[in-house]
């Protein structure tokens, strides 16, 4: 049973969560609890607050990833111990575990570690003693040969969901229940589609796709682990008896082509027009741009690569780096007197670019490659099963957006989703229109919660 | 209460970085463009025609004056028939390379690295698409297996190091 930040943020919330654990225990289950840090942004032990504590010391000094992980782990430790005391107040023995004490071993990537193995002996011994184990989500340890103790690591985004699924798998759990502050998995963000129904059943693959493409209800790493070990996953609301989503094998989900509409990313779309470049130089020019993006760790989305265009979106947070790298970039290509390509953001070159062009002129022909920029984009996606079996899905999606006068800059697709890059200002309308176009409001609402463990 | 731990040391998450490179032959790329001022009505007309003919498409890319997409090789004739009025261009003998890496949009620079490696190989690429767990590269069939081998050698080794 995993409880997210809002499910443990106040004494009242923790009591409701603890009562759910006690109920499972009294029904004869052996509940194992995983908790996130208490509360969201602004709460005293929330992740953002802990980072801010370090920044306040001297914001100009980089926080080492190892030290950041040590700090971040405090939030879950505080949460776990507090939860143990809440269970104790209800008359139940409980015991807190840091990730390492729970036997969670990870690789050595601070801040984004992956779980490599779990030795659940400590958890099992605790259960055998009649205790309820309460495990800190989001963390594990990494052994450095020759050094005692092991290094603490954190698992990155969605880490507590991942902990819950992995511990569930290690214990051969009957089910993994993810408790949050919303009813199950919705067909769309309820902030955008207030009447979005809660899905009764959804496949592991679909929920992973939904999560990858923006829904925040469950992390895809958790869905992938549950799928691998065939453990039923449930998403439930801690604070009510509302609908529940059951996440199961693809074959058990009844025919339903479209499952949901998601939105994700604050992006900037860049497109280079290569029509002015000599055809035989295009590949080298493209390689230079992509090598540069690789070297500086830029993450790319919605790529368009053709002989006449280089196009991709980057996260807005990375755009200043990308701009510095590409605006005015000079690439001499060709033997003898080469063509000197210069990337230029917008119609008017910067003064630096003008100066560069003048200096380079004697060395070869300077060819400006204009870089068109579209700020404030987002990805809106349709998620479902066997999309590509339906030839109409692209047409229906693009027509729906066109009829709403929503511009689409680029698309991408998989078997499980079709995504469109649209203006961020149109996200709300795009999600709502697509939700309606594909009849998602008429999907049968999931049934109300029953007992714990499913 | 009796408990049996079925796993004591269990592998969970997939390794980061490129895990697999596969090749799927049997595609063709259809390319359609128009001189029309606004391409959106034109694109919709093209997509309506292929949908009407019940032709499955994949890797749809919007281009400044039109669009392109992949169809299965045995549906090329049906697609060109359906698009007769649009003067489609066809690149036959196309294969699809899939470069798999879990959560690749979270791995800094990985997607760019894959594409830079593919470009450097000199293979004739018709099309590139990206998703959260793979990159799709539509490539001339004769280049497909050498490119796949090259990508795997360059990127899987890099991850292992």
Report the CATH number that the domain containing residue A291 is assigned in CATH: 3.30.70
Verify that A369 and A398 share a domain, yes or no: no
This complex has an ipTM of 0.88
pLDDT band, very low/low/confident/very high, at B7 (cuts 50, 70, 90): very low
Largest CA distance in chain B: 74
Residues A177 and A31 in one domain: yes
Enumerate the H helices of A198-257 as residue ranges.
Answer: 204-212, 220-229
pLDDT the model gives residue B160: 47
> Could you tell me if residue A162 is inside a domain?
yes
Chain B neighbors of A297, CB-CB under 8 A: 108-109
Domain with A369, as residue range(s), is 271-373
d(C-alpha A187, C-alpha A259), whole Å: 6
pLDDT score recorded for residue B84 = 93
* Region A166-180 average pLDDT: 94
Q: What is the pLDDT of residues B19-66, one digit of tens each?
A: 889 999 999 999 999 887 778 899 999 999 999 999 999 899 988 889
Question: What is the CATH number for A151?
Answer: 3.40.1160.10
Q: What does the pLDDT read at residue B158? A: 62
Q: Does residue A216 sit within a domain?
A: no
Residue A239 has pLDDT above 60, yes or no: yes
* CATH 3.30.70.260 residue window(s) in chain B: 18-24+94-160, 27-92
Q: In Å, how far from its chain's centre is CA A210?
A: 10
Question: Which pLDDT does position B88 carry in this prediction?
Answer: 95
In this structure, the answer to whether residues A98 and A154 fall within a common structural domain is yes
Q: Which helix (H) or strand (E) holds A285?
A: helix A282-295
pLDDT band at A153 (very low <50, low <70, confident <90, very high): very high
What is the rounded (10 degree) CA torsion for B158, A417, B30, A395? -160
Same-domain status, A63 and A102: yes
Q: Please tell me whether residues A175 and A279 are part of one structural domain.
A: no
Q: Are A385 and A285 within one domain?
A: no
Please check whether residue A299 lies inside any domain of the structure: yes
- Interior CA angle at A219 toward B18 and A183, to 5°? 155
On whether residue A212 sits in a domain, the answer given is no
Per-position b or e across A282-318, b if 16+ CB within 10 A of its CB: bbebbbbbbbbbbeeebbbbbbbbbeebbbbbbbeeb
In this structure, is residue A208 part of a structural domain?
no
The residue among A317, A346, A373 that closes a domain is A373
Minimal Cβ distance to A305: which of B11, B51, B125: B125
Instruction: For residue A440, give the DSSP letter.
Output: G
Range in A83-87, A123-127, A272-276, B12-16 with the lowest mean pLDDT: B12-16
Domain boundary among A373, A395, A410: A373
Helices and strands per DSSP (H, E), number in chain B: 4, 6
Cβ atoms of B27 and B71 closer than 8 Å? yes
Phi-psi region of B5 (alpha: psi -120 to 50; beta: other; left: phi over 0): beta
What is the dotted CATH code of the domain comprising B27-92? Answer: 3.30.70.260
pLDDT at A454 over 60: no
Residue of chain A whose alpha carbon sits nearest to that of B61: A411
**A173 and A36 housed in the same domain:** yes
Q: What is the mean pLDDT of residues A110-132?
A: 94
Average pLDDT over residues B102-118: 89
Backbone angles phi, psi at A177, to 5 degrees: -110, 125
Chain A residue with Cα closest to B125: A306
Size of interface A-B (CB pairs under 8 A): 183
Average pLDDT of chain B is: 86
The residue ranking higher by pLDDT, A98 or A285, is A98
Give the rounded distance of the alpha carbon of A264 from its chain centre. Answer: 9
If one compares A338 and A298, the residue with the highest pLDDT of the two is A298
pLDDT band at B108 (very low <50, low <70, confident <90, very high): confident
Q: β-strand A151-154 against A33-35: which pairing, if any?
A: unpaired
Closest CA to A356 of A346, A339, A342, A336: A342
pLDDT for A24: 96
Confidence (pLDDT) at A265: 86
| pLDDT of A256 strictly over 70 | no
Say if residue A2's pLDDT is above 50.
yes
Q: Point out the domain boundary residue: A181, A203, A237.
A: A181
Q: Calculate how close chain B gets to A447, using CA atoms only, in Å.
A: 31
Q: How many domains does chain A have?
A: 3
Instruction: Give the mean pLDDT of chain A.
Output: 89
- Do A43 and A11 sit in the same domain of this protein? yes
Q: Which of residues 40-59 of A touch B (CB under 8 A)?
A: none
Identify the CATH homologous superfamily for domain B18-24+94-160: ACT domain (3.30.70.260)
Q: Does position A4 have pLDDT exceeding 60, yes or no?
A: yes
Nearest to A391 among B57, B106, B129 (CB): B57
- Residues A54 and A114 placed together within one structural domain of the fold: yes
List the end-to-end C-alpha distance of chain A, in Å, as a whole number. Answer: 11
Chain B nearest-CA residue for A288: B116
Write down the pLDDT at residue B37: 74
Same domain as A393, residue A365:
no
Do A34 and A171 fall within a single domain?
yes
Q: Does A170 touch chain B (CB under 8 A)?
A: yes
Q: Calculate the alpha carbon distances from A25 to A94, A96, A381 in Å.
A: 12, 17, 40
Give residue A451's pLDDT band: very low, low, confident or very high (50, 70, 90). very low
- The CATH number of the domain holding residue A388 is 3.30.2130.10
What are the tens digits of pLDDT across the range A40-51?
Answer: 777 777 778 888
Residue contact A295–B106, C-beta within 8 A: no
Q: What is the pLDDT of residue B2?
A: 32
CA-to-CA distance for A215 and A223, rounded, in angstroms? 13
The predicted model gives A391-417 an average pLDDT of 92
pLDDT of residue A400 exceeding 50, the answer is yes
pLDDT of residue A365: 84
Scanning A98-117 for CB atoms below 8 A from B yields 107, 109, 112, 114-117
């Amino acid at each position: 049973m995993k409880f997210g930040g809002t499910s443990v943020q106040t004494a009242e919330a923790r009591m409701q969560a603890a009562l759910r654990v006690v109920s499972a225990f009294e029904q004869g289950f052996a509940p194992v609890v995983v908790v996130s840090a208490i509360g969201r942004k602004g709460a005293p032990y929330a992740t953002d607050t802990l980072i801010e504590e370090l920044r306040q010391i001297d914001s100009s000094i980089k926080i080492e990833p190892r030290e950041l992980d040590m700090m971040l782990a405090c939030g879950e430790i505080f949460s776990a111990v507090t939860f143990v005391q809440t269970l104790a107040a209800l008359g139940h023995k409980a015991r807190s575990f840091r990730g390492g004490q729970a036997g969670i071993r990870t690789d050595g990537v601070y801040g984004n570690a992956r779980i490599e193995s779990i030795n659940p002996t400590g958890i099992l011994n605790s259960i055998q003693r009649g205790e309820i184990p309460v495990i800190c989500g989001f963390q594990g340890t990494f052994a450095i040969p020759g050094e005692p103790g092991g290094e603490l690591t954190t698992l990155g985004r969605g880490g507590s969901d991942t902990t819950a699924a992995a511990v569930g798998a290690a214990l051969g759990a009957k089910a993994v229940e993810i408790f949050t502050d919303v009813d199950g998995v919705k067909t769309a963000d309820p902030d955008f589609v207030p009447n979005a129904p809660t899905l009764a059943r959804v496949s592991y693959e679909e929920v992973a796709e939904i999560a990858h493409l923006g829904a925040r209800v469950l992390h895809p790493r958790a869905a992938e682990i549950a799928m691998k070990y065939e453990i039923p996953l449930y998403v439930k609301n801690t604070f009510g008896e509302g609908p529940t989503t059951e996440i199961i094998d693809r074959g058990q989900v009844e025919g339903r082509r479209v499952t949901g509409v998601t939105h994700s990313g604050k992006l900037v779309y860049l497109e280079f027009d290569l029509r002015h470049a000599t055809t035989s130089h295009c590949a080298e020019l493209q390689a230079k741009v992509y090598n540069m993006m690789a070297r500086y760790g830029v993450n790319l989305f919605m790529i368009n690569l053709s002989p006449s265009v280089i196009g991709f979106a980057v996260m807005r947070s990375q755009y200043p780096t990308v701009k510095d790298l590409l605006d005015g970039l000079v690439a001499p290509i060709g033997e003898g007197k080469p063509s000197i390509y210069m990337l230029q953001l917008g119609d008017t070159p910067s003064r630096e670019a003008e100066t560069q062009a003048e200096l380079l002129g004697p060395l070869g022909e300077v060819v400006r490659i204009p870089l068109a920029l579209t700020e404030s984009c987002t990805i809106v996606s349709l998620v479902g099963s066997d999309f590509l079996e339906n030839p109409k899905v692209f047409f229906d999606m693009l027509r729906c957006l066109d009829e709403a006068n929503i511009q689409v800059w680029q698309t991408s697709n998989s078997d499980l989703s079709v995504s469109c890059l649209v203006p961020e200002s149109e996200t709300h309308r795009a999600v709502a229109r697509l939700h309606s176009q594909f009849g998602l409001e008429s999907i049968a609402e999931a049934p109300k919660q029953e007992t714990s463990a499913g | 209460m009796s408990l049996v731990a079925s796993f004591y040391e269990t592998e969970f998450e997939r390794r980061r970085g490129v895990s697999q490179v596969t090749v799927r032959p049997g595609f063709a790329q259809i390319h359609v463009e128009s001189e029309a001022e606004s391409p959106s009505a034109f694109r919709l007309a093209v997509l309506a025609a292929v949908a009407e003919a019940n032709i499955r498409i994949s890797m749809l890319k919007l281009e400044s004056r039109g669009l392109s997409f992949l169809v299965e090789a045995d549906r090329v004739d049906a697609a060109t028939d359906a698009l007769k009025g649009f003067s489609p261009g066809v690149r036959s003998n196309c294969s699809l390379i899939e470069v798999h890496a879990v959560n690749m949009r979270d791995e800094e620079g990985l997607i760019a690295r894959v594409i830079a490696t593919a470009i450097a190989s000199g293979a004739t690429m018709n099309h590139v698409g990206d998703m959260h767990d793979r990159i799709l590269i539509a490539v001339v069939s004769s280049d497909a297996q050498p490119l796949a081998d090259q990508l795997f050698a360059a990127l899987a080794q890099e991850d292992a190091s």
